[in-house]
């Protein structure tokens, strides 16, 4: 029997790839997105076109677009529109809600904090309340590795205390986890938060370093390297992220599983947090080398101080993900970057 999913942020990077994967499995997906202009809208519309939207962006909010894929429907809307969201959830009777909609970006949260409050806090509150009222089987939501903030312990574990965020973006993601915990405790709502670690791949976000580095290197422009290139990131390829989400979707909460875990959900079998990362951080220098090799061009580099809101290193402990799902992300940075560069050249019509 087909399962019905509501995916928020369906025109976003992860939402697009997850929607495609679920549709390929024969599931039914309704995607919503406000298609904001944080980055190039044309990239978001291209993702939607690949999923099956014929006419691109609808002309106004709450309009369902025509589509070529019979199992997919897209609606442009804000999560802050609580009345429409509730009506949609009552009418469609979703089995699962996967909340990937959020105002992204660590540095942008310093410039425009109100966008993060509305999307990441008010929007999430509406989503989790809709999940409660309509009794969905499972709410999965995107958290972030940024919640670890100034954590000194390496690798980052879901059992670590994460009370010291260094950006408003990170603070909103931590708040989402706390809200989910309270709802799981009060109403026995099954919630799973996913702390993603530096996701990359085709159709990725232009504000990410690997994307901007590739664009500038191919254009012969200088790239800015912060903190003398000493930053380390646990880069995770998009296909590994999607596989992890799908496996966790069907994971059932139970006492036996609960007793095996070592995170902050010991007292609540309905609340879970997982890291999804490659479990192998690399230095920024290795990323640049991979991009240079893929492009066949050496980079012109400018070295700058560390930026506010950044952290030196991210490194995911994924023992519980492996234990509970049998899955471990495995795509090497060199392989993933080649796939990204191949897509980049094709999308932007760049001759090799």
Contact 146, 173 (CB under 8 A): yes
Residue whose tokens read 């574990």: 157
Q: How far is CA 36 from CA 54, 61, 72, 167, 348, in A?
A: 19, 12, 21, 21, 21
Name the residue among 11, 14, 50 with its Cα closest to residue 33. 11
Q: Specify which residues 6 forms β-bridges with.
A: 30, 97
d(CA 156, CA 81): 35
Q: Specify which residues 196 forms β-bridges with.
A: 276
Q: Specify which residues 7 forms β-bridges with.
A: 31, 98
d(CA 119, CA 101): 8
Indicate the burial class of 169 (C-beta count within 10 angstroms; 0-12, 13-18, 19 or more): buried
Residues, the chain, total?
Answer: 352
Residue whose tokens read 């991009």: 291
Backbone phi and psi for residue 128, each to the nearest 5 degrees, phi listed first: -70, -30
d(CA 276, CA 182): 23
Active site residue 169: yes
Q: How far is CA 14 from CA 69, 202, 214, 283, 337, in A?
A: 19, 10, 20, 24, 16
d(CA 171, CA 103): 12
Contact 310, 227 (CB under 8 A): yes
Q: Which two tokens stand for residue 203?
A: 């159709």
Please tell me which residue in 169, 200, 203, 274 is annotated as part of the active site: 169
Q: Catalytic residue positions?
A: 169
């Amino acid at each position: 029997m087909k399962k019905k999913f509501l995916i928020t942020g369906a025109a976003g990077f992860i939402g697009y790839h997850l929607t495609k994967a679920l549709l390929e499995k024969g599931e039914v997906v309704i995607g919503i997105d406000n298609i904001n202009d944080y980055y190039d809208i044309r990239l978001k519309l291209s993702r939607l076109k690949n999923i099956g939207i014929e006419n691109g962006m609808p002309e106004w909010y709450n309009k369902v677009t025509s589509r070529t894929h019979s199992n997919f429907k897209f609606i442009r809307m804000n999560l802050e529109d609580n009345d429409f969201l509730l009506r949609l959830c009552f009418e469609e009777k979703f089995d699962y809600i996967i909340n990937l909609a959020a105002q992204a970006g660590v540095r942008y949260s310093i410039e425009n904090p109100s966008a993060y409050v509305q999307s990441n806090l008010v929007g999430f509150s509406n989503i989790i309340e809709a999940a409660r009222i309509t009794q969905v089987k499972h709410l999965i939501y995107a958290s972030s590795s940024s919640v670890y903030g100034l954590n000194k312990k390496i690798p980052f574990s879901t059992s670590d205390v994460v009370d010291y965020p260094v950006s408003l973006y990170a603070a909103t993601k931590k708040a989402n986890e706390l809200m989910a915990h309270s709802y799981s405790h009060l109403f026995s709502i099954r919630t799973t938060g996913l702390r993603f670690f530096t996701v990359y791949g085709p159709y990725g976000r232009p504000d990410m370093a690997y994307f901007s580095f590739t664009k500038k290197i191919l254009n012969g422009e200088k790239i800015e390297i912060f903190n003398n290139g000493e930053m380390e990131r646990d880069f995770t390829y998009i296909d590994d992220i999607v596989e992890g989400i799908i496996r966790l979707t069907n994971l059932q909460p139970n006492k036996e599983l609960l007793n095996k875990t070592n995170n902050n959900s010991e007292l609540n079998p309905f609340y879970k947090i997982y890291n999804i990362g490659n479990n192998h951080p690399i230095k920024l220098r290795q990323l640049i080398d991979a991009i240079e090799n893929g492009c066949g061009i050496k980079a012109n580099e400018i070295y700058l101080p560390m930026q506010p809101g950044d952290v030196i290193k991210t490194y995911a402990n994924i023992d519980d993900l492996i234990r509970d799902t049998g899955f471990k992300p495995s795509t090497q940075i060199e392989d993933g970057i080649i796939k990204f560069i191949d897509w980049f050249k094709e999308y932007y019509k760049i001759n090799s």
